[in-house]
C-alpha cells in the first residue's frame, strides 16, 4: 500500500462514522510506513469550525498498534487516538495532529536528550501495555536476516559503491549469532515495552504547556524487547544526519541511563549489548530496504540509500567484532 491509496471519497466514508456532523473538506497525503497510508484531513463542522486530524490506514498489525495508543493514552508519549474504525479489510486510526516546533530540531543535542528521556518513560511502562501480543518477533527477525543476506548477495555487482562482497562475512556471522546476541542484549538491561522503530521520521518535538515535549509516532512495531534496541536505533540513525549526535554519543547514552535510573557507566558488556541491539535493528529490515532502494533508484535517492547502507554495514561489523571467538 502507498500513501496514494487514500482518496477523499474513501476517507470521507470512514470519517463519517466518527465525525458524522463534520465532513472532510481537505486531504493532504503524508509519508507513511511500508504497510500504511497516512494523510492529514480537515474536518469542518456545522459552525464552520475546522479541525485537523491525521488518519492512518492499516491492513496488518492494526490491532496491536491501536492497542498501544489506547494503553499509552495517559502517558503523553503518543498522539491522542481519537478513534479507530474497522472498514473492509483495513483498520483506520484517527489521531491528534501534532504541530512540531521545527522541521529539524536535532541540531541541538538538548533536544536529542529529551527524546532519550521520553524513551525512558516509555520503557518504564514495562509489559503492562503489551499484553495479549502474539507477535513472534524473534522468528520474524531470523527470517528477515536470511532475506537480508539474500538481497545483499544479489546486490554485490549492482551497487559498486558498497564493497558488499567484503561485508558478507560479518553479515553472515551476525545473522548466525542472532540468538546468542539477543540473549546477551536482553540480559544487560532486561526487557520491557519498546517502540521498536525510533528514528527522526517517527519522533516529533512539540510545545506543550509552554515546554518542549517529545511525541513518538507509528507504533506498529512496538513489542516487548530490550531498551537498547530503541536507544541504539535513535542515536545511530540520527548520527547519519547530525554531527552533534556522533560527537555527543556517549554523553547522550549516559543521559538515557540516568533517566532510566540505571548505572551510567558504559561498561564493555553494555557496549557489546548496545551494538547487538543495533545489529538486530539492521537485520530487521533496515539494511535490506536501503539495498533495494539503492539498486532501483538513481541520483540523490540512490546516494542517500548507499550512505545509509554503508552505515548499516558499519553496525554489522561493530557487532561482529564483539562476538565471542570460537
Class of domain 3-96: alpha beta
Q: CATH topology of 3-96 equal to that of 105-321? A: no
- Of the pLDDT bands very low, low, confident and very high (cuts 50, 70, 90), residue 273 is very high
- pLDDT tens for 214-224 read 999 999 899 99
- pLDDT tens for 72-120 read 888 889 999 999 998 888 889 999 999 999 999 999 999 999 999 999 9
Let me know if 5 is exposed, middle or buried by CB neighbors in 10 A (0-12, 13-18, 19+): middle
Count how many residues are written for the chain.
326
Arithmetic mean of pLDDT, 249-266: 98
Asked if the model's pLDDT at residue 33 lies above 70, the reply is no
- pLDDT tens for 176-190 read 999 999 999 999 999
**Higher confidence at residue 60 or residue 273?**
273
Class of domain 105-321: alpha beta
Domain ranges of the chain: 3-96, 105-321
Asked if the model's pLDDT at residue 35 lies above 90, the reply is no
Mean pLDDT of the chain: 92
Arithmetic mean of pLDDT, 8-29: 94
Prediction pTM value: 0.93
Min mean pLDDT across 58-72, 264-278, 298-312 is at: 58-72
- Of the pLDDT bands very low, low, confident and very high (cuts 50, 70, 90), residue 4 is very low
Let me know if 212 is exposed, middle or buried by CB neighbors in 10 A (0-12, 13-18, 19+): middle
How confident is the model at residue 3, as a pLDDT?
41
**Higher confidence at residue 194 or residue 70?**
194
Task: Give which of 292, 286, 269, 7 is closest to 159, Cα–Cα.
Answer: 292
- pLDDT tens for 298-322 read 999 999 999 999 999 999 999 999 9
How confident is the model at residue 2, as a pLDDT?
42
Q: How many CA atoms lie within 13 A of 243 on its CB side?
A: 0
Arithmetic mean of pLDDT, 148-156: 98
Task: Give which of 41, 141, 124, 56 is closest to 93, Cα–Cα.
Answer: 56
Amino acid at each position: 500500500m502507498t500513501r496514494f491509496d487514500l482518496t477523499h471519497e474513501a476517507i470521507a466514508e470512514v470519517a463519517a462514522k466518527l465525525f458524522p456532523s463534520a465532513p472532510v473538506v481537505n486531504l493532504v497525503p503524508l509519508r507513511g510506513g511500508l504497510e500504511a497510508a497516512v494523510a492529514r484531513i480537515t474536518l469542518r463542522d456545522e459552525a464552520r469550525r475546522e479541525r485537523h486530524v491525521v488518519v492512518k490506514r492499516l491492513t496488518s498489525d492494526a490491532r496491536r498498534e491501536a492497542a498501544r495508543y489506547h494503553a499509552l493514552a495517559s502517558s503523553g508519549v503518543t498522539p491522542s487516538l481519537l478513534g479507530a474504525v474497522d472498514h473492509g479489510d483495513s483498520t483506520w486510526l484517527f489521531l491528534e495532529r501534532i504541530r512540531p516546533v521545527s522541521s529539524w530540531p536535532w541540531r541541538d543535542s538538548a533536544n536529542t536528550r529529551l527524546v532519550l528521556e521520553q524513551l525512558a518513560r516509555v520503557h518504564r511502562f514495562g509489559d503492562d501495555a503489551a499484553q495479549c501480543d502474539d507477535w513472534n518477533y524473534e522468528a520474524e527477525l531470523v527470517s528477515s536476516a536470511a532475506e537480508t543476506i539474500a538481497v545483499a548477495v544479489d546486490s554485490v555487482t549492482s551497487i559498486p559503491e558498497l564493497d558488499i562482497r567484503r561485508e558478507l562475512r560479518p553479515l553472515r556471522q551476525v545473522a548466525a549469532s542472532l540468538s546468542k546476541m539477543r540473549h546477551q542484549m536482553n540480559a544487560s538491561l532486561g526487557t520491557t515495552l519498546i517502540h521498536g522503530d525510533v528514528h527522526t521520521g517517527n519522533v516529533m518535538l512539540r510545545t506543550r504547556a509552554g515546554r518542549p515535549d517529545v511525541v513518538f509516532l507509528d507504533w506498529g512495531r512496538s513489542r516487548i524487547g530490550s531498551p537498547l534496541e530503541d536507544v541504539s536505533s535513535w542515536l545511530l540513525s540520527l548520527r547519519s544526519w547530525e554531527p552533534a549526535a556522533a560527537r555527543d554519543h556517549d554523553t547522550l547514552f549516559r543521559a538515557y541511563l540516568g533517566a532510566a535510573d540505571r548505572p551510567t557507566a558504559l561498561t564493555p558488556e553494555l557496549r557489546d549489548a548496545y551494538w547487538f541491539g543495533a545489529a538486530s535493528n539492521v537485520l530487521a529490515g533496515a539494511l535490506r530496504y536501503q539495498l533495494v532502494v539503492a539498486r532501483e533508484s538513481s541520483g540523490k535517492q540512490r546516494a542517500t540509500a548507499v550512505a545509509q547502507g554503508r552505515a548499516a554495514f558499519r553496525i554489522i561489523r561493530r557487532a561482529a567484532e564483539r562476538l565471542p571467538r570460537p
